[in-house]
């Protein structure tokens, strides 16, 4: 397992980005998603600054309470303890109201903006061409939709307001301290940066050890996962002690790293406690000397101590806030990189213009193709192919010969490097991509069903289809009988990837899906492989209905399924090696098809005979 995947599984911190003009410019692009809600966002900012300034009124009024208690004045708003206390309570109530408004507003604006960003990111992701997915890992792309967007969400909802609040408290607190005593302000400004620097250093070291500990824990999780997935092999080879030893070794490394981290944290906490109370003692000592000299009052000393607490708290927060902003900038860069990719289709909410139904005339003209990820290897070498409307075209040949690549070009998952694919006389690239694919359907060898109901999976061929249409398609696919045997019928949940259905049942659901789509061009990719005889019979009957009146391309390794094809193309080494009907190719002396057919039909004959012996080698 790679380090990247271990980190993702262990939930480790996202990588950070260097803060420079370019990266900050990327991050500022996030504010584009705030524009529809800018009125409430601005109101939230005003409320946040108001609440922060009202927070600074607390030490100011608290100092006046002390002065009023020590030396009460006969008149004035701030001369009476009761009046000052009532004023302070009013300020706190107003601050609480502002706090509620800006917290709710930032959460509302942030969540709405993130929904827009998530929708745009997902829309761009699923609209990207196959060339993009061939060069990316699914885990990496999923991370951008989960971890990266969650980091951005946390920043918009929490980190940004917190950063603005702490900045206001820091600057406002320093201003109040300076107005009280320049000497004490200088003392505070000299000591706090030192404490902040030490805190940052400890924090970095602690985070590094935490990441290392999580790596070690991820290693032990890998051992557990591999052991349980291969539990039959573990028991068959009596390797329980060996696996326990691997797990124990991993736990020892995890424990050692965790204890090192615990020692560092303990030292850090001791340092913080000593430094915090030491700075308070230093401030009290300096303030007491100024108080004895008559340079400040009791109230001013109280105000200074409270303001000093505000400033120290703000400076202590900045290290973590800065780290979070770095992560957000990095996450934004990765999401923006995805959004800059060019999609192959436009998913804007517009009504596409309908395209007349295709006749199904397909022609490959001198098609050559090279996968972008393997530019040095040409997969197809000058392929020529003609499929007339309604014909059944079988593609046979060894694995890796280029059969699936031909189908990918037909579906326009890729475009030819040279040459062209013509459909009804026009270059396939001249058709709107979505409209073209809407007239095609694929029944794959490994059917992927989504985790909804059977009805939803059949309706995937034509979203919005009625239950009556779904049932008609299921009957034609010989799927209705087994569906009705389930207690929930068409509402039966198929489970993850269709795990609750057998292979034959999944195949018939896929055929029903294709029937519901009513395509002009049909693609069958080993649709009857790896099935028992009864399932194959039912599926073959359903396929006969499905292929009627449609141009059909059949990829097959079992030649018995393509005997009645109108044309059989033998693909070998990226070229059409042979072409003709079953009878023509079987009569071709020394031909590839004849050799494969003799071998397969002989094996099938021996299997049916049930001799239990191996067939003779050709």
Q: What is the residue-wise DSSP string for 454-497?
A: HHHHHHTTSTT--HHHHHHHHHHTT-HHHHHTSTTGGG-B--GG
Q: What is the pLDDT of residues 408-444, one digit of tens each?
A: 999 998 899 999 999 999 999 998 888 888 899 888 8
- Could you tell me which residues come within 8 angstroms of residue 321 by beta carbon, excluding any fewer than 6 positions away? 159, 162, 163, 166
The more confidently predicted of residues 30 and 614 is 30
Is the domain of 225 the same as that of 338? Answer: no
Inter-residue contact 64 to 83 (CB < 8 Å): no
Residue that finishes a domain, picked among 312, 343, 374: 343
The answer as to whether 152 is a domain residue is yes
Above 90 in pLDDT, residue 398? no
User: CB-based contacts of 31: which residues, under 8 Å, 6+ apart?
Assistant: none
Terminus-to-terminus CA distance in the chain, angstroms?
43
Query: Does 363 have pLDDT greater than 90?
Result: yes
Residues 616 and 468 placed together within one structural domain of the fold: no
Lowest mean pLDDT among 170-174, 199-203, 548-552: 199-203
Confidence bin at 521 (pLDDT 50/70/90): very high
Query: Positive or negative, the Cα torsion across 559, 562, 563, 566?
Result: negative
Check residue 614 and give its pLDDT.
Answer: 45
**Distance (Å) of CA 213 to CA 219, 258, 363:** 10, 6, 59
Structural domain total, the chain: 4
Q: Which of 488, 518, 548 is the last residue of a domain?
A: 518
Query: What residues have CB less than 8 Å from 40, skipping those under 6 apart?
Result: 105, 108, 109
3-state helix, strand, coil in the chain (%, to 5): 65, 10, 25
Q: What are phi and psi of 500, to 5 degrees?
A: -80, -10
* Residues of the chain above pLDDT 70, percent: 82
Q: What is the pLDDT of residue 366?
A: 93
Shared-domain flag, residues 482 and 543? no
Domain match, 104 and 223 both: no
Q: Could you tell me if 428 and 492 lie in one domain?
A: no
Q: Are 297 and 228 in contact (CB under 8 A)?
A: no
Whether residue 533 contacts residue 374, with contact meaning beta carbons closer than 8 Å, is answered with no
The residue-averaged pLDDT of 483-499 equals 82
- The encoded tokens of residue 71 equal 């030396």
Compare 366 and 313 and report the one with higher pLDDT.
366
Say if strands 392-396 and 567-572 run parallel, antiparallel, or are unpaired.
Answer: parallel
250-252-253 Cα angle (round to 5): 65
- Whether the Cβ atoms of residue 151 and residue 281 lie closer than 8 Å to each other: no
Residue of higher predicted confidence among 11 and 221 = 221
Q: Are residues 435 and 368 in the same domain?
A: yes
pLDDT of residue 23: 60
Is residue 392 over pLDDT 70?
yes
Q: Mark whether 82 and 117 lie in a shared domain.
A: yes
pLDDT (0 to 100) of residue 319: 64
383 near 406, Cβ under 8 Å? yes
Residue ranges of E strands in 269-389:
362-370, 378-387
CATH of the domain at 175: 1.20.1560.10
Q: What is the pLDDT of residue 364?
A: 93
For residue 576, give both structure tokens.
């059409």
Q: Indicate whether 173 and 187 sit together in one domain.
A: no
Of 464, 493, 518, the one marking the end of a domain is 518
Tokens standing for 436?
A: 């073209």
- Torsion angle of alpha carbons 37, 40, 45, 47, nearest 10°? -170
Q: Is there a single domain that holds both residue 65 and residue 106?
A: yes
482 plus 388 within the same structural domain: no
pLDDT in tens, 16-72: 555 556 666 666 777 778 888 888 888 988 988 888 888 877 777 777 777 777 666
pLDDT digits (tens, 9 = 90+) for 448-469: 788 788 899 898 888 888 999 9
Q: What is the pLDDT of residue 130?
A: 80
3-12, 312-321, 351-360, 604-613: least confidently modelled range: 3-12
Kindly report the CA angle at 263 between 258 and 265, in degrees rounded to 5?
A: 90
Select the more confidently predicted residue: 6 or 181. 181
Pairwise CA distance, residues 507 & 176, whole Å: 75
Q: What is the pLDDT of residue 501?
A: 83
* Average model confidence (pLDDT) across the chain: 79
Same structural domain for residues 92 and 175? yes
Q: What is the pLDDT of residue 25?
A: 67
Give CA–CA dist 525/399, Å, rounded: 13
Question: Does 158 map to a domain?
Answer: yes
Cα 416 from Cα 431, distance rounded (Å): 15
Q: Are residues 128 and 213 in the same domain?
A: no
- DSSP-assigned letters across all residues of 401-456: SSHHHHHHHHTTSS--SEEEEEETTEEGGGS-HHHHHTTEEEE-SS----SSBHHH
By mean pLDDT, which of 423-427, 456-460, 497-501, 530-534 is the weakest? Answer: 530-534
pLDDT over 60 at 102, yes or no: yes
Distance CA 166, CA 54 (A): 13
Any domain includes 462: yes
List the single range of 31-35, 376-380, 598-602 with lowest mean pLDDT.
Answer: 598-602
Segments forming the whole domain that contains residue 399: 359-439+523-618
In CATH, what number is assigned to the domain containing residue 401? 3.40.50.300
The residues near 380 (Cβ < 8 Å, ≥ 6 apart) are: 367, 368, 369, 402, 405, 406, 409, 416, 574, 575
Tally of CB atoms within 10 A around 596: 18
State pLDDT tens for residues 336-356.
Answer: 777 777 777 666 555 556 788
Residue 307 lies in a domain: no
Query: What is the rounded distance in angstroms from the CA atom of residue 174 to the CA atom of residue 197?
Result: 19
Number of other residues whose CB lies within 10 A of the CB of residue 355: 13
Answer yes or no: is 529 within a domain: yes
| Nearest-angstrom CA–CA distance, 4 and 10 | 10
Instruction: Let me know: does 182 contact 209? Beta carbons within 8 Å.
Output: no
pLDDT band (50, 70, 90) for residue 6: very low
Q: What is the model's pLDDT at position 12?
A: 44
Does the residue 116 lie in any domain? yes
- Examine the pLDDT at 491 and tell me if it is beyond 70: yes
Residues with Cβ within 8 Å of residue 153, at least 6 apart in sequence: 110, 111, 114
* Residue 100 maps to a domain: yes
Q: Is residue 165 part of a domain?
A: yes
Residues 543, 524 contacting (CB under 8 angstroms): yes
Q: Residue 17: what pLDDT? A: 52
613, pLDDT greater than 50: no
């Amino acid at each position: 397992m790679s380090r990247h995947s271990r980190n993702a599984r262990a939930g480790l911190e996202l990588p950070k980005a260097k803060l420079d003009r370019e990266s900050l410019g990327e991050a500022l692009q996030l504010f584009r998603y705030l524009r529809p809600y800018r009125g409430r966002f601005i109101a939230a900012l005003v409320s946040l600054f108001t609440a922060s300034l009202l927070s600074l009124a607390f030490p100011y009024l608290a100092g006046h309470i002390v002065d009023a208690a020590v030396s009460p004045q006969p008149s004035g708003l701030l001369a009476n303890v009761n009046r000052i206390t009532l004023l302070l309570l009013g300020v706190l109530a107003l601050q609480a109201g502002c706090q509620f408004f800006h917290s709710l507003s930032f959460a509302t604006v942030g969540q709405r903006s993130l929904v827009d960003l998530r929708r745009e990111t997902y829309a761009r992701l699923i609209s990207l061409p196959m060339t993009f997915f061939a060069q990316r890992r699914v885990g990496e792309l999923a991370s951008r939709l989960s971890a990266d967007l969650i980091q951005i969400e946390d920043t918009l909802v929490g980190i940004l307001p917190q950063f603005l609040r702490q900045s206001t408290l820091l600057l406002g607190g320093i201003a109040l301290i300076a107005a009280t005593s320049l000497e004490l302000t200088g003392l505070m400004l000299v000591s706090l940066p030192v404490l902040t620097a030490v805190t940052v250093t400890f924090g970095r070291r602690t985070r590094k050890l935490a990441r290392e500990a999580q790596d070690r824990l991820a290693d032990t999780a890998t051992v557990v996962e591999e052991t349980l997935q291969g539990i039959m092999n573990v028991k068959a080879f009596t390797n329980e002690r060996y696996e326990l030893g691997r797990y124990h070794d991993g736990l020892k490394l995890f424990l050692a790293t965790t204890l090192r981290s615990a020692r560092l944290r303990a030292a850090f906490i001791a340092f913080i406690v000593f430094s915090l109370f030491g700075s308070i003692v230093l401030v009290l000592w300096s303030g007491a000397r100024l108080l004895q000299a008559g340079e400040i009052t009791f109230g001013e000393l109280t105000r200074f101590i409270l303001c000093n607490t505000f400033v120290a708290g703000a400076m202590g927060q900045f290290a973590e806030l800065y780290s979070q902003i770095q992560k957000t900038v990095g996450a934004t860069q990765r999401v923006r990189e995805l959004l800059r990719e060019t999609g192959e289709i436009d998913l804007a909410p517009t009504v596409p213009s309908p395209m007349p139904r295709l006749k199904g005339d397909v022609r490959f003209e001198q098609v050559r193709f090279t996968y972008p990820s393997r530019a040095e290897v040409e997969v197809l070498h000058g392929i020529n192919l003609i499929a007339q409307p309604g014909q059944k075209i079988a593609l046979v040949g060894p694995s890796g010969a280029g059969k699936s690549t031909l189908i990918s070009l037909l579906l326009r998952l890729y475009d030819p490097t040279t040459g062209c694919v013509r459909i009804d006389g026009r270059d396939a690239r001249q058709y709107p991509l979505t409209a073209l694919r809407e007239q095609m359907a694929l029944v794959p060898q490994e059917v992927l069903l989504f985790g909804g109901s059977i009805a939803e999976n059949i309706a995937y061929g034509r979203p919005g289809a009625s239950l009556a249409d779904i049932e008609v398609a299921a009957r034609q696919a010989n799927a209705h009988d087994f569906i009705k045997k389930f207690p929930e019928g068409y509402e039966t949940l198929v489970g993850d990837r269709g795990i609750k259905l057998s292979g034959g049942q999944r195949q018939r659901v896929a055929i029903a899906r294709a029937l519901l789509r009513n395509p002009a061009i049909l693609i069958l990719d080993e649709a009857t492989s790896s099935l028992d005889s009864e399932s194959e019979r039912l599926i073959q009957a359903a396929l006969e209905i499905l292929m009627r009146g449609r141009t059909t391309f059949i990829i097959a390794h079992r030649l018995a399924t393509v005997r009645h094809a109108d044309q059989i193309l033998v693909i070998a080494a990226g070229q059409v090696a042979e072409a003709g009907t079953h009878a023509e190719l079987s009569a071709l002396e020394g031909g590839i098809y004849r050799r494969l057919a003799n071998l397969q039909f002989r094996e099938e004959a021996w299997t049916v005979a049930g001799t239990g012996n191996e067939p003779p080698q050709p």
